[in-house]
Amino acid sequence: MINGAQSRFSALLPSDAAIVEATDEDMWSHGLLPEEAACLRSASHKRLREFTAGRNCARGVLELLGCNAAPILVGESRQPILPAEAAVSVTHSEGYCAAAGVRKDTCLSIGIDTETNRELDVELRDLICTGQELVSIARLPRVACDWHKLVFSAKESLYKAWYPLCHRYIDFLEVTLQIDPRKSAFSAVGPRDLRRALGLATVTGRYLIEHDRIYTAVTVSSCVPLRSSYDRCEQRASVANSSGDADSTKK
């Protein structure tokens, strides 16, 4: 198990974030609690290993944050059910698994993602990247990374950070990303209803490119995480849609 400054994510997250990586085989094959195992039904061997490593990492993060590391069950939308005082995000990709978390009295939400450093399939680019992003990517300098794949990873991190605050699916094309290669950072603008509900104009994150992997991370330090506020925005959008407002959101 690796935690703290030894993790690749330590350079991407606040210093008070807790990070655990599954470096021991036992974390992939043992330690899943009975209540957690009951959440999986007819899972493949690969999925069971990933789930086991993810839960072990997440509970390790909760312990580092001083929280009760109880079984982490699965919600209606397959999201992990966590203690109210903590925000935790998990990522796994081809033999790598990590979790990172923060206490909500310092940061409201967190999202991390890792992907193999291989080109994103060409047929997926238009499903992941907006037209504006495709134009911007064409102007970025050549690096040892496919920028389209980095956009995919960054949007995965953003979704993981946003979902606990808004509880709704966000499509890749609802988010527009701007990459700053000089700072190894990115900023994102989400859908209008989400920006209004959470009080967020833009969200920023950081990335790290290595020979074999890409790492991205996002934290949300302040917003208005009120479900009632989101509901009001959804109601307004519904009224606008019914009246034929062409500028209203699609969801």
Residues 102-158 pLDDT 10s: 999 989 999 999 999 999 999 999 999 999 999 999 999 988 899 999 999 999 999
d(CA 245, CA 251): 13
pLDDT at res. 40: 86
- CATH of residue 30: 3.90.470
Q: Which domain-ending residue is among 107, 140, 173?
A: 107
Cα three-residue angle 153-158-164, rounded to 5 degrees: 135
Cα three-residue angle 105-226-88, rounded to 5 degrees: 45
In order of 1, 53, 94, 113, 176, the CA distances from 57 in angstroms are 8, 6, 16, 14, 31
Q: Environment class of residue 184 by beta-carbon count within 10 Å: exposed (0-12), middle (13-18) or buried (19+)?
A: middle
- What does the pLDDT look like over 171-190, one tens digit per residue? 999 999 999 999 999 999 98
Q: Same domain, yes or no, for 91 and 129?
A: no
Q: Same domain, yes or no, for 94 and 155?
A: no
Q: Same domain, yes or no, for 126 and 22?
A: no
Who wins on pLDDT, 247 or 30?
30
Q: Which domain-ending residue is among 89, 107, 125?
A: 107
Q: Do the domain assignments include residue 234?
A: no
pLDDT at res. 201: 67
Q: Do the domain assignments include residue 230?
A: no
Domains of the chain: total: 2
Q: Same domain, yes or no, for 20 and 89?
A: yes
pLDDT at res. 232: 40
Q: What string of H, E and C letters represents the secondary structure of the chain?
A: CEEHHHCHHHHCCCCCCEEEECCCHHHHHCCCCHHHHCCCCCCCHHHHHHHHHHHHHHHHHHHHCCCCCCCCCECCCCCECCCCCEEEEEEEECCEEEEEEEECCCCCEEEEEEEECCCCCHHHHHHHCCHHHHHHHHHCCCECECHHHHHHHHHHHHHHHHHHHHCCCCCHHHCEEEEECCCCEEEEECCHHHHHHHCCCCEEEEEEECCCEEEEEEEECCCCCCHHHHHHHHHHHHHHHHCCCCCCCCC
Q: Do the domain assignments include residue 10?
A: yes
pLDDT at res. 1: 55
| Closest among 100, 95, 221, 213 to 153, alpha carbons compared | 213
Q: Do the domain assignments include residue 231?
A: no
Q: Same domain, yes or no, for 158 and 90?
A: no
Domain that holds residue 72: 1-107
pLDDT at res. 33: 95
